[in-house]
Every structure is written in C-alpha cells, then in structure tokens.
Amino acid sequence: MTAQMPPAHPFDDDKLREECGVFGVVGVKDAANFVALGLHALQHRGQEAGGIVSHDPEQGFNSARRFGYVRDNFTKQSLMETLPGPLAIGHVRYSTAGSKGNTAIRDVQPFFGEFSMGGAAIAHNGNLTNANSLRRELIERGSIFQSSSDSECIIHLMARSLQQNVPERIKDALRRVEGAFSVVAMTRTKLIGVRDPLGVRPLVIGRIGEDGWVLSSETCALDIIGAEFIRDVDPGEMVVIEHGLLKSHRPFEPAKPRFCIFEQVYFSRPDSILMGRSVYETRRQIGIELARESAVDADIVCPVPDSGTPAAIGFSHESGIPYGMGIIRNQYMGRTFIEPTEQIRNMGVRLKLNVNRALIKGKRVILVDDSVVRGTTSRKIKDMILDAGAAEVHFRIASPPTAWPCFYGVDTPDRDKLLAARMSEDEMRDYLGVDSLKFISLDGLYRAAGEAEGRSKSCPQFCDACFSGEYPVEPRDMVEKGFQLKAAE
C-alpha cells in the first residue's frame, strides 16, 4: 500500500525528510476527531503512517494505527467511533530509526503501556542517540520490545520506574535518554508535553473552547481546529495539563537552546510560527539574503515548487527580477508508473513537474530551491529547463551545503551520499551542469532567521549540524557503529 503512496514533496527521495509530527488535545468532546484534523495539518512531517490513542472514562483507552494518509484512514465514521473520549494524542511518522521502508504496524506510534497505576500513551518526535544501549540493557532485564523504534525505550523505562505516577515516570525515563525529543503523552486524565533541554524539535501550546488545551508540533495544526496559539513549550520544559489547568515542570539540567534550523528552511509549513517568527517570512528573508549575497543578471526568478516559493519571492523582490512559474507541478503526483521501453529522459521528474516552456524559452533563469541533498533531482531539473530552451540556468539554494547527516529525527542519506560532503561548491556547479550555483551562507541564514549578528561562533543559536558538522549532543549509537565526527579544528 505504502508503495503506491505519492510522495509528499515532488522530490522526496532527494530531500531530507522530517520523520514525525505529534498532536494532543484534552477537554473537548470526541478529542480524537480534533487529533485527526491536527495530524492532517501535520501530514508534511510524516506520510508513512499515523496513529491515535484516546481515553474515555467509560470505555477506557482505545487506539488505531494505520499506514497511509490521515485523510484516508481517520475520516471514517466507523473507525473514529472506536476512539471516544475527551482526551487523545496522535502521531504521524516517517521511519528514521527503526526498520526503514519495512515498517510494521506495531512500529506506528503512539506507544501504549499498562502500568500498575493505569495506562499511558506517548508519541515522540525526534530521535534518541543512545537508544541502542538502552535497548540492550532493557532486554537483559526482561523487557520485551514490540517494535524496532527507538522511541519504545521510553515506555519501557517508564514501566520500570519506581515512581508512583505517570508524569514522574516520564521524568525518570527522559532523564535516561539522550538526543532530541518532543514528546506528547497522556494518562486517563492528563495531557503531557515535554521538550528536550536543547529544544531541537518544535512543540507548541494552544487553547480551544472553554477548557480545552492543545499540544502540537506546529501552529498550523492549531489553525485547522480553530485553537488559539499560546506559546512554545520551552526547551527542557514539561507541561502537565489536567482538569483544565496547565502546570509547568523543569525536570532537566538547564542548557542553551539549539532549535533545528532546518525546520526554518524546509520542514515546517510556511504558515507556522516558530519561536515567534513566521516561517514564510524567514524563508522570504532567506531569498532576500541570497539575492544580496549572490546576485546575477537574469530575466526571471522561478521557484522549484513548492518549497522554493517563498525564497524565490524574496529573491525576486530584492533583485527586481520578475517572478514567474517556470516549473509547473502536477497536482496528482505519482512515482510508480511503468517506464515505457522507449527512452523518456527524466521520467521520474516528469511525473511530478513540467517546464512551462513558453515562459522559459530563451530566458536566463534563476531557479531557487530549498536545498541540495544528493543532487540527482537538481540535475534532472536543469536538463528539463535546458531542453525547454533556457539561455542560462542559475541555481540559488536557500540553505548552506548539506554536508552532514542529522541524528536528531531527520531522515538523511549516509554522509557519502551527500553531494556537499564530496564536492566543493565549484565541483557541484560543474556536476550539476549549471551556469552558476550559490548557497546561502550560514551567517546569511542566521540573519534571515532573525539573528542580526549572524551565527555565534562560540555558542550557535540553532542546531545546524547538517551544515556545520557540529553536533550539540554526541550521536553515541552512531559513533559506536563507527561514524566519524568532524575533527576538532
């Protein structure tokens, strides 16, 4: 089934992919319906599968896990009726840790555990960097793992905690794990949210109706249910919502926040607010910075749809070069057509995009894309643009070269598959075969993200490991497996 699923973005196979979105609601009638809507709004964060757990005072805990889109599963009356009650949490996922591409339904979150003081469910966005050693230890002590997901460690650690209530057990558990985690959890009466001390992944708080509260990966999912955005969960904060009241806890050692800068560049939806700033505006500013840093004489600025659009608008605005839709996206994307025997060049790309030939012909074209990962798609797009008769092709990239894998909840190729890990900018330009190729500088990106002074060398304001190779949390499991960290300078 999943094999047939069209990708979220036209070049998913050549993008970094966020692996998860989480959402929870308490204090409304039929909370699961709200969670379904929230997950639908977070679908860009994970398209492989989704799950919802709800609790009803009379019918207890119920859950449903399904492969595929939220809209295809959690819209059926017959299914949603099995998820009653005023409290529910949900999760959409790509696989990161866990068996990639071969996910079993038991890998789909939220995970549920029955403890002696009652049940609890948790949904996790992020990635634990010490999951392997934790798992080994737990198995030795008699825990039985049901999934291949790193997140399952959390629920086993909770099961073994000696604390007498679930929030304390969550603290116990999360103090043992390392890495990035934004967690939404629930008991029979409580909705709980936690962010790791660095706050790598987003998590926000909203209110709905009289007494309702919402936790969500992004604000765009508050909008869909008409909830009011209150604030971010702080890095290192745990919020426990019960009987209409929210209490804040600080279970971890204080640390300097390191929010993921790639959320700004690509993962989050442009209509979300991250750290008090509009994602759309940040991306438009990236385009402005790019135009300043790497101007070029040209006839038209075109986005690579859809993620390059805000930066292309900013670039056009700053440069004065007209904005146009040089590439048209097929709204009914697919990627599994049978290749006809005659040679169709770049067929995979054609299933998703088509060049607007009449607009492009004879023009000097600036193409604005969000990132270059393997470079395979960029080459194909360049081919299509030239086939259509463009006079020149200039690539402008709304992020610095992606040279390092992410271990905090993003699906990245192995380092040797990353174009920027193998080539210099000039080599990449030649490899792609374009007239020019420019990436935004790390400082320019920080400026666009609101840091007027650019990146602090001593204490960067974001996690930018994918660009800089500086990992704010040591990727312990990966180092154990032989991953080479960047040499200290």
> Do the Cβ atoms of 84 and 56 come closer than 8 Å?
yes
Rounded least distance, CB 283 to its own copies, Å: 10
Cβ proximity to its own copies: between 268 and 437 the closer is 268
Binding status of residue 124 toward its own copies by CB under 8 A: no
Site string for its own copies, 313-342 (x = CB under 8 A): x---x----xxxx--x-xxxxx-xxxxxxx
State yes or no: 463 annotated in a binding site. Answer: yes
User: The tokens 């490991």 sit on which residue?
Assistant: 465
Binding status of residue 88 toward its own copies by CB under 8 A: no
- Rounded Cα–Cα distance for residues 297 and 136 (Å): 58
- Rounded Cα–Cα distance for residues 242 and 55 (Å): 13
State yes or no: 260 annotated in a binding site. Answer: yes
State yes or no: 459 annotated in a binding site. Answer: no
- Rounded Cα–Cα distance for residues 51 and 73 (Å): 10
Contact positions with its own copies (CB under 8 A) in 275-304: 277-278, 280-281, 284
Cα-Cα end-to-end distance for the chain: 48
- Rounded Cα–Cα distance for residues 9 and 478 (Å): 28
Contact positions with its own copies (CB under 8 A) in 367-386: none
Among 304, 355, 385, 397, binds its own copies (CB under 8 A): 355
State yes or no: 307 annotated in a binding site. Answer: yes
Q: Residue 465: phi, psi to the nearest 5?
A: -55, -35
Site string for its own copies, 212-231 (x = CB under 8 A): x-------x--xxxx-----
Binding status of residue 101 toward its own copies by CB under 8 A: no
Alpha carbon 20 to chain centroid, angstroms: 6
Cβ proximity to its own copies: between 272 and 461 the closer is 272
Binding status of residue 109 toward its own copies by CB under 8 A: no
Binding status of residue 488 toward its own copies by CB under 8 A: no
- Rounded Cα–Cα distance for residues 117 and 114 (Å): 8
Asked if 20 is an active-site residue, the reply is yes
What are the residues whose beta carbons fall under 8 Å from the beta carbon of 184, sequence distance 6 or more? 22, 23, 24, 89, 91, 122, 123, 191, 192, 193, 203, 215
Cβ proximity to its own copies: between 146 and 456 the closer is 146
Cβ proximity to its own copies: between 310 and 460 the closer is 310
Q: Which amino acid would we find at residue 58?
A: E
* Helix axes 152-160 and 166-176, enclosed angle (nearest 10): 120
State yes or no: 406 annotated in a binding site. Answer: yes
State the binding site for [4Fe-4S] cluster: 260, 406, 463, 466
**What amino acid positions are annotated as catalytic residues?**
20
